[in-house]
Structure 1
Amino acid sequence: MTHLNRRNVIQLTALSALGGSVLGELPAAADGLRRPGQFGPASLSAAIVGMAVDGTTGYFVTRGQTPPKVVTYDIVSRTVTDVVSLERGDGGWACTVSGGKVYIGTYSFGDIVEYDPATRVARRLGTIGPSGTIVFAATTAPDGVVYFGTYPRGEVWSLQPATGTLTNLGRAFPGSQYARLLAADETYVYAGTIPAHIVRIDRSTGAKVDIMPVGTALDSGLGALAAGSDRVYAASSFGVHDIARDGSGYVEVPADEEYLVDSLTVTGDGGLLALGRLTGSILRREGDRLARIAQGPEGDEGRGVALLPDGTVFAANGSGRVSILAPGRNTVEQDDLTNDARAAGPELLQSMCAAPDGSVYVGGHFAITVHEPARGISRRYPVAGEAKDIAAWRNRMISALYPSGEVIDLDPRTGRVRSFGRIDNNQQRPWDVVHHKPSGLVLIASAPRYGSLQGALTLLDPATGKMEVRLDILPNQALNAIALDGDMAYIAGDTWGGNGIPPTEPTAQVAVFDISRREVVDRFAPLPDQPSMQHVEVLNGVLYALYKRTSGSWLAYDLATRTVLRSGKLSGYGEIVAHRGRIYAGANFGDNIYLLGPGLESAVRLHTGIGTNWYTVPRIEPVLGARKAWAAVDRNLALIELPS
């Protein structure tokens, strides 16, 4: 077994046949960050989650880089002025300013961090949940007290910045795991939860009252929350509901043709500014409507919007792009934090694809990087989301994006993107993209939005652009993976769907879909009491499956006799691939690559330390005609040898 670590030069290591070897990580740059063009990181990102503004300074917290960074941005000069790494964590959704200091809540440790821009010191004040806690929201009350909202306990916490005292105000709403959004005024702190409730918490007594209007679009989910002038503003796919803070009534403020309003702020004059998710709209309240005043990046998620003292509108998106709208203008200036070498860094991958011409396509946050190892070059192309999976098609690639569900065709030579449109049908998270060469179709498995169960199979003909979305594959299950065997597609299910709602099916199933007839010909459950299947592969009449729940459970299942041939436990869940008559698996929570079969009584661990994380899985992309595969080792593109 080989433990894989970062190397600065190409190395060759002779190992045993089952041990595998690193054939080479591509060389580092002479100094500083190794950009993709120099074959260092497989993917670079400055994607952000947390955002706060203080005067003319913006503060951002990155995601995907471990540990996350606090990025300081001077809005006037349009420049990154400082970057400081936190002690630990994967990102920080919660970010707010109080008394000139920045307060951050991280995941996956649930740390509360105070960052002082004057001294450049980030100090951990405490931890407000067990391992795995996500601090999703932060807000500052007018008197400077800071509040945080958490998952999975759904709690609201207060912080006294002067003393560093953290106080648990309890679960925001009974049974809810998410205190997802927060806003505060002089008297109350307001928590937006999942399922959707707006809970008013008395800052003095802790008394909680649900002021959520009933029978409105807010019932389907909250996008943002703000408070001011004795009003509470709650955003949704409809627009905004302007609610009396005692819950006695509300005014509807629609936003036409918006997918979701996901960022909201109350301006000093009592007005509202907002961002439209995916549309890129910058919105302002005009009477009782939200009107688009400018266009930001399309396909992106909003992270925040602010009105500066001189009337400039400043907005940021999840990709790390910022938009600046000067007073009296209707077009924005855009900047990308990824252009700053300090802010950008190697990220955990979303996807990887080994192309027939020897190129390697790597999907990340809002970008796809094309590596050409033989030529020693790479190109990074922006896309409108996380490239959850990629399949080679002709001399191009097909990718499905999160969170929009958009399906794109990208030319790896030019970066030109053609959109086939969105999957829609309540789908949000594509999981697997495969190309069925005999029919020319591309098949896409996807999971629905939070609070829904029904996933979809999308059949795309890239030549014509025609797309068919099927919701009848596995009832009340998300679709996580597709294995092709001739004209049959074996499709793996997940009874948890998009999460947030109890499963209705007892165990995850596999659907057998006849591609030529475009119909489901069989459904079966390989194991009982296994809610979530992560990946499947078929080789010589045997289906290999790897489960997410229970994490790491795997099996080899004879399709003819419907019997389990072998089963076992890996370190975690991930993907399974067939290559040159062998079955390999990559699993997180241990970051291992295994040989599963055929003919083995138990899995053989080949490589470890490949550097994934809880929300990504190891990628194994076999090289055609060779017992080698591309992978990401410690976030660097690497070529590993597979046993003969």
Structure 2
Amino acid sequence: MPRKLLALLTVLTALSLPGLSTPAAAQVTSAPRCDTPAVTTYGPATVTGAIVGAAVHDGHAYVVSRGPKPPVVAEIDLATRKVTRTATLPDGPSAGEPEGGWATAVAGGKLYIGTYPVPDLYSYDLATGQVAHLHSFGASNTFVWSMAAAPDGTLYLGTSSDGRLWEYVPSTGAVRRYDVLVKGEHYVRAVAVDETTVYAGLLEKAKLMAVDRVSGAVRELAQGPMAVGTVSLYGDRVLAASGSTLIDVRKDGTDLRQFEAGVGIIDAFEVAPDGTVYLTSRPDGAVYSYRIGQDAVTKVADPPSPGEETRALKLIGQQLVGFAGSGGIWWLDLASRTAEFVDLIDAGFPAGAERTQSMLLVPNRALYIGGHFAVQVRDLRTGKQRRIRVVGEPKAMVRRGNQIYAALYPSGQIISIDMRTDEVRSYGYIGHDQSRPWDIEHDPVTDTILVASAPTGAKLQGALTVLDPDTGKMDVYAGVIPDQSLMSLSVHPGRGLVYLGGDVLGGGGTPPTRTTASIAAFDLRKREVVWQIDPLPDHRTFQDLKVHDGLLYAVYKRVLGAWIALDLDTRTITYQGVLSGHGELQVHRGRVFTSTFFGGGNAYELGSEAKLLATGLGDEWHTNPQLQFEPGSFDAWTIVGRDLAKVRLDPRCPPVTIPAPES
């Protein structure tokens, strides 16, 4: 059944965007207009105040932005609820640029920050506000996920994708890399440390480990059912969360107490001096408490910020202070159970351009642009924009009538947005361990909303979700392609069939059982797979599928740039070739187009071969490059760098070359 409305609407001050409006009816001459401007940009496609790392020290909070480049470090006065000082993290010597910092720790008068997608360490002087780059722990596309300061000020950091624990001594700059904690593990997701030992939570192997700071000796303290993503210490005990399972064990590994809390995924701990453990869970965002030695949790309060991930939790007197990932701070009075929420942008946090998650054009009306916990709406008639708060990242969107449907990460929730009122409605969660919804379409024959999804962590099975938007009934077909997650789907117009594109790697945390990604045809009336094939051996992941004129076009992801056109009657490959990278497909005016990552960011028309239409779009999409064509023309909305742009992609014109931005 449909769930209650759970997202709040935040409307930004309307911004005038000259030149953005679109004529009510596009007029296209029969001859190409290759002399018109090839590219027009309109500023950042979507902005954010989202945060990752957060810490509290001496009456101030310190947060690090998520998404914009360069990342922003902000100091907030917890008494006035205002940002008092900001700084940016300079680009370090490693290839790539930092876009945020999950890991933070305070020691010796400095805030230390571990960044991604370059695994660098920075310091922020709490007295002067000066920032310094200290060390790089690896190559680009690697994360510093976690960090803790020992009582003597030594820092311990957990990284991916090497799955290593590191030691950094601020006084000398000395660095030590510990041996592999568990073979095959790629993520040290949480750390805590005392005088002698580092306690590490592992994502894929779901283990809680203890590492001797001097000898490096490793002990296993507990095995959880899911990723161990939160670790804290109290006296002689270690507290950890493995999904919704709470782990409570002595530091020597004895007296293990482990139970299912039944509260969703536990994402933050704070231990009071009397041993009361306060914790938050997602996707609801509620607050609970636990006493050492018990086997149950007690609900303290409803979500101070509904549907949020809590980045950090701190007890100050009789108030809990929480940091919401979308960019907010809340204060919960434990006596009255009342909460106050402050949006960081309202408090003075500088919003920045983020990577775009998804884009949907409502012709002659608006562009809906998915960002982090928000959808930015740009009115094409007035040039104004507004921002709708949602509880996740809209990975894909589709229109049905006056409703925009979106599938959200990391909750796996499906929502709709009313185009007339901006009202947000939740249809609930996919469940079945599905957290990454990658594609969404509407089938007019069965009048259903279809979602392709993947799990997180050490699981292979994806799912096809079939939602009846009128009744809210949601049917989930997990494992519809055995031992593969789903990356894409494409409805066959008028036939009640949907084609599914698989990924043998699943959530990426366990070895695959297959070597080749499959395409499956699913009958939406019979609710069953009618055929399944593996078109290209040893190609493990489909990025996108699209039906056109009896052919199923497909772009692969992990074999760089491979694409095919499959005859749906014979199920044989009619055309195939290689692109500069991968992205999403779009059918427009009887032609098939795609935009891709890599090679500078390119757009192509696909037919018997790939024809380059544009280059220089950049590689700044968060998910997959997309094109949204204006009806009656070959002008497509997309992004150039991180700016919203309209690009002429007329196959009859010479390719468009977009110059690189000046540094």
Structure 1 residue 59 displacement after superposition: 1.3
The correspondence of residues 348-387 of structure 1 with structure 2, limited to 5 A, is: 348-387=355-394
Structure 1 residue 619 displacement after superposition: 1.7
Q: 2:65 aligns with which of 57, 62, 66?
A: 62
The correspondence of residues 411-490 of structure 1 with structure 2, limited to 5 A, is: 411-486=418-493, 487=495, 488-490=497-499
Q: Which residue of 2 aligns with 1:37?
A: none
The correspondence of residues 565-644 of structure 1 with structure 2, limited to 5 A, is: 565-599=574-608, 601-612=609-620, 615-643=622-650, 644=652
Using structure 1 for the length normalisation, give the TM-score.
0.91
* Cα distance, 1:131–1:145 mapped onto 2, change above 3 Å: same
Answer yes or no: is 1:280 the counterpart of 2:317. no
Answer yes or no: is 1:265 the counterpart of 2:281. no
Counterpart of 1:283 in structure 2: which amino acid? Y
In structure 2, the gaps of 5 or more residues are 1-16, 22-30, 92-97, 653-663
Q: 2:235 aligns with which of 209, 229, 232?
A: 229
Contact 1:192–1:198 (Cα < 8 Å) also in 2 = yes
In structure 1, the gaps of 5 or more residues are 1-7, 27-39
Counterpart of 1:565 in structure 2: which amino acid? T
Counterpart of 1:623 in structure 2: which amino acid? E
Q: Give the whole-Å Cα distance in 2 for the aligned partners of 1:19 and 1:528.
A: 44
Superposition CA RMSD, Å: 2.3
Structure 1 residue 168 displacement after superposition: 1.4
Structure 1 residue 591 displacement after superposition: 4.6
Q: Which residue of 1 aligns with 2:508?
A: 499
* Cα distance, 1:611–1:449 mapped onto 2, change above 3 Å: closer
Answer yes or no: is 1:106 the counterpart of 2:115. yes
Structure 1 residue 428 displacement after superposition: 0.8
Contact 1:11–1:25 (Cα < 8 Å) also in 2 = no
The correspondence of residues 165-564 of structure 1 with structure 2, limited to 5 A, is: 165-193=174-202, 194-212=204-222, 214=223, 218-252=224-258, 255=261, 257-286=262-291, 288=294, 289-294=296-301, 295-308=303-316, 310-340=317-347, 342-486=349-493, 487=495, 488-564=497-573
DSSP-derived class of the 2:360 partner:
strand
Q: Give the whole-Å Cα distance in 2 for the aligned partners of 1:324 and 1:559.
A: 57
Structure 1 residue 598 displacement after superposition: 1.9
* Cα distance, 1:134–1:314 mapped onto 2, change above 3 Å: same
Using structure 2 for the length normalisation, give the TM-score.
0.88
Q: Which residue of 1 aligns with 2:28?
A: none
Structure 1 residue 457 displacement after superposition: 0.8
DSSP-derived class of the 1:298 partner:
coil
Counterpart of 1:528 in structure 2: which amino acid? P
Structure 1 residue 252 displacement after superposition: 4.0
Contact 2:602–2:617 (Cα < 8 Å) also in 1 = no
Q: Which runs of 4+ in 1 moved over 6 A?
A: 15-20
DSSP-derived class of the 1:220 partner:
coil
* Cα distance, 1:23–1:374 mapped onto 2, change above 3 Å: farther
Counterpart of 2:369 in structure 1: which amino acid? V
Q: Give the whole-Å Cα distance in 1 for the aligned partners of 2:291 and 2:212.
A: 31
DSSP-derived class of the 2:188 partner:
strand
C-alpha distance after superposition, 1:309-354 (max 9, x if no partner): x332111121112211235230211011233564311111111111
* Cα distance, 1:20–1:349 mapped onto 2, change above 3 Å: farther
Contact 2:64–2:101 (Cα < 8 Å) also in 1 = yes
Contact 2:19–2:383 (Cα < 8 Å) also in 1 = no
Q: Which residue of 2 aligns with 1:3?
A: none
Contact 1:18–1:606 (Cα < 8 Å) also in 2 = no
Contact 1:459–1:469 (Cα < 8 Å) also in 2 = yes
Q: Which residue of 1 aligns with 2:3?
A: none
Q: Give the whole-Å Cα distance in 2 for the aligned partners of 1:432 and 1:616.
A: 11
* Cα distance, 1:321–1:591 mapped onto 2, change above 3 Å: farther
* Cα distance, 1:239–1:523 mapped onto 2, change above 3 Å: closer
Q: Give the whole-Å Cα distance in 1 for the aligned partners of 2:37 and 2:579.
A: 20
Deviates more, 1:513-522 or 1:102-111: 513-522
Counterpart of 2:142 in structure 1: which amino acid? T
DSSP-derived class of the 2:552 partner:
strand
Contact 1:431–1:444 (Cα < 8 Å) also in 2 = yes
C-alpha distance after superposition, 1:123-174 (max 9, x if no partner): 1111112222111100111221111001111111111122222221232222
Contact 2:148–2:192 (Cα < 8 Å) also in 1 = yes
Contact 1:588–1:616 (Cα < 8 Å) also in 2 = no
Contact 1:477–1:493 (Cα < 8 Å) also in 2 = yes
Q: Give the whole-Å Cα distance in 2 for the aligned partners of 1:19 and 1:593.
A: 20
Q: Give the whole-Å Cα distance in 2 for the aligned partners of 1:90 and 1:16.
A: 41
C-alpha distance after superposition, 1:48-72 (max 9, x if no partner): 1111111221111121112221122
